[in-house]
């Protein structure tokens, strides 16, 4: 397939492709998404194909006006309304009961649907012009780091989709917080830059974090209670081509261990890349993490050594969720 690389002025052309059942990758404030008409099962099916994504993994449906959530869900609780007022447009996906009209293909057969209104002018205009809600997973090949820059999307999807809408680099850098508000207790299924604390402050009640998110080595755990509730959390994810190790512990020791391992490996003839963020610079870490993984892959390093961020529930925790997955939970404690 000949993929059109479109600039902002061609937004109507991009929207027409979506309207006609095609696929367009587009920027949001979090990461680039690969969009299709969320209400057209055939179009959504093509997204799974282009990404090589398992088809039981549900998609997030993007809307341009908060009130459009009414097309997708039968009931808005007071909490949902408060969350929308506080966080939309923005990087918060709400998992809500779905209306019958939302195809199984979009929800992976679940009776809920993830919805968000992105905080990106280009994304909002694309949805408006397309005239339909847009289902969009991150615009990477399944298993690879999420794309935060147009060139990352081109690398993965050129030749596989009708068009790529080029925009600015993504402001946030990690995917939206996924919050399940379909049941009694709001539950975080995927951490992001909107934290449990932010959500609790808005709705005035306790938020639960899916216990599966605290498990460092899910492969060692067989108990039902740790089965992630978000289907997407169980697949191999964000993996760079290089081998990756996360070094965790006291900051000085982490730095020393990274230097030691780097020197050792270089002596063996390995090319080593390092990811070490400023202590507590969590927002910056979120912004840079996926881009760094992709840059190191382009430099063809053999090994990536990454310093863990020390944060138990905030933005740093959200970055660590991605970092540990990228490394296949390969952790060295110092
Ligand atoms: O920031 C984002 O959320 C980006 C941009 C493009 O909006 N999208 C994104 O989509 O990250 P994706 O498909 O890569 O991740 C969606 C996550 C998956 O882990 C999926 O399992 C979960 O959200 N999810 C979607 N709908 C769900 C549902 N109804 N119930 C539980 N989890 C759901
Ligand atoms: Mg993804």
Domain boundary among 128, 150, 177: 177
The answer to whether 254 touches 307, Cβ cutoff 8 Å, is: yes
pLDDT value, residue 222: 43
Domain boundary among 160, 177, 194: 177
Instruction: Please give the number of the atom of ligand 1 that sits closest to the Cα of 136.
Output: 6
Query: Omega into 89 within 30° of 0, i.e. cis?
Result: yes
Does the pLDDT of residue 224 top 70, yes or no? Answer: no
Instruction: Please give the number of the atom of ligand 1 that sits closest to the Cα of 233.
Output: 19
Does the pLDDT of residue 56 top 60, yes or no? Answer: yes
In angstroms, the CA 96 to CA 136 distance is 17
Q: Please state the rounded mean pLDDT for residues 265-284.
A: 96
In this structure, the answer to whether residues 144 and 267 fall within a common structural domain is no
Nearest to 124, CA basis, from 181, 73, 167, 83: 167
The answer to whether 147 touches 156, Cβ cutoff 8 Å, is: yes
* CATH number assigned to the domain comprising residue 81: 3.90.870.10
Domain assignment of residue 75, given as a range: 4-177
Q: Does residue 15 lie within any of the structural domains?
A: yes
In total, how many domains does the chain have?
2
In angstroms, the CA 96 to CA 3 distance is 34
Does the pLDDT of residue 258 top 80, yes or no? Answer: yes
pLDDT value, residue 230: 62
Q: Does residue 185 lie within any of the structural domains?
A: no
pLDDT value, residue 219: 46
pLDDT value, residue 239: 87
Domain boundary among 177, 198, 228: 177
Average pLDDT value for the chain: 93
In this structure, the answer to whether residues 16 and 125 fall within a common structural domain is yes
pLDDT value, residue 113: 98
In this structure, the answer to whether residues 173 and 254 fall within a common structural domain is no
pLDDT value, residue 228: 60
Nearest CA to ligand 1 atom 27: 114
Cα separations (Å) of 103 from 55, 107, 110, 222?
13, 7, 10, 32
pLDDT value, residue 152: 98
Residues flanking ligand 1, CB < 6 Å:
28, 30-31, 33, 57-60, 91, 93, 95, 107, 110, 112-114, 118, 136-138, 175-176, 178, 189-190, 230-233
Q: Please state the rounded mean pLDDT for residues 195-205.
A: 97
Q: Please state the rounded mean pLDDT for residues 143-159.
A: 97
């Amino acid at each position: 397939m000949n993929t059109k690389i479109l600039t902002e002025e061609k937004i109507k052309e991009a929207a027409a492709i979506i309207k006609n059942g095609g696929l367009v990758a587009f920027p949001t404030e979090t990461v680039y998404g690969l969009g299709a008409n969320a209400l057209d099962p055939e179009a959504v099916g093509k997204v799974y194909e282009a990404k090589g994504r398992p088809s039981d993994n549900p998609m997030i449906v993007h809307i341009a006006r908060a009130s459009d959530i009414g097309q997708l869900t039968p009931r808005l609780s007071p909490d949902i309304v408060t969350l929308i007022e506080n966080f939309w447009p923005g990087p918060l996906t709400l998992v809500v009961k779905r209306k019958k009209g939302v195809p199984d293909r979009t929800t992976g057969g679940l009776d809920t649907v993830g919805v968000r209104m992105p905080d990106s002018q280009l994304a909002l205009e694309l949805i408006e012009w397309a005239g339909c809600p847009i289902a969009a997973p991150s615009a990477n090949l399944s298993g690879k780091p999420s794309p935060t820059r147009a060139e990352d999307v081109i690398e993965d999807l050129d030749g596989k989709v009708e068009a790529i809408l080029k925009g600015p680099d993504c402001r946030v850098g990690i995917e939206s917080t996924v919050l399940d508000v379909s049941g009694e207790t709001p539950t975080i299924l995927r951490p992001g830059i909107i934290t449990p604390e932010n959500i609790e402050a808005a709705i005035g009640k306790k938020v639960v974090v899916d216990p599966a998110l605290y498990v460092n080595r899910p492969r060692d755990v067989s108990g039902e209670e740790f089965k992630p509730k978000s289907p997407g959390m169980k697949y191999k994810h964000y993996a760079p081509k290089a081998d990756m190790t996360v070094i965790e512990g006291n900051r000085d020791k982490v730095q020393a261990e990274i230097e030691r391992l780097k020197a050792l490996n270089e002596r063996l003839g390995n090319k080593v890349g390092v990811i070490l963020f400023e202590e507590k610079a969590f927002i910056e870490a979120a912004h840079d993490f996926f881009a760094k993984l992709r840059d190191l892959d382009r430099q063809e390093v053999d090994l990536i050594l990454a310093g863990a961020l020390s944060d138990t529930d905030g933005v740093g925790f959200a970055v660590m969720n991605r970092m540990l997955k990228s490394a296949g939970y390969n952790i060295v404690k110092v």
